[in-house]
Amino acid sequence: MSDCQAKPRTSLDTLACKDKSRDSSTSLGMTTLCKVNDSVVRMAVVQGEYHWHEHQDIDEFFFVLDGHFLIDLEDRVVDLAPRQGFVVPKGVRHRTRAPERAVILMVERADIVPTGD
């Protein structure tokens, strides 16, 4: 049974399951909430580790709604709790991790496919 077929734990899980993304091994569900100018706001329910990557010409914003979310940079780890956010500047190599289930918002340019570069 897929994560979306099982009974969702919260309304955030229900929303994420409406447009499930299978591009990332860590994504339990992802949906685009809205478009703002040339960017989109995406919500994802994630768990696990994502691969190292960078975006040469865009910044990437992460905001934690629920759970614990880590952003590994080459020189440090950014440790985010609920209601905390962080901007990864363009050109900075990074990877994201969620040791347990986390619900996050991401703001990125609309043409970015959420599988990393």
Render pLDDT for 11-62 as a digit per residue (tens, 0 to 9). 444 444 444 443 444 667 889 999 999 899 999 999 999 889 888 999 999 9
Render pLDDT for 64-114 as a digit per residue (tens, 0 to 9). 999 999 999 999 999 999 999 999 999 999 999 999 999 999 998 888 776
Q: Residue 3: inside a domain, yes or no?
A: no
CATH number at residue 105: 2.60.120.10
Q: Residue 4: inside a domain, yes or no?
A: no
- Closest among 15, 91, 109 to 53, alpha carbons compared: 91
What is the CB neighbour count within 10 angstroms for residue 95? 16
Domains: count for the chain: 1
Domain that holds residue 82: 11-109
User: Quick check: 45 and 13 in contact, CB under 8 A?
Assistant: yes
Is 0.95 topped by the overall pTM? no
User: Quick check: 101 and 67 in contact, CB under 8 A?
Assistant: yes
Q: Residue 116: inside a domain, yes or no?
A: no
Residues in the chain: 117
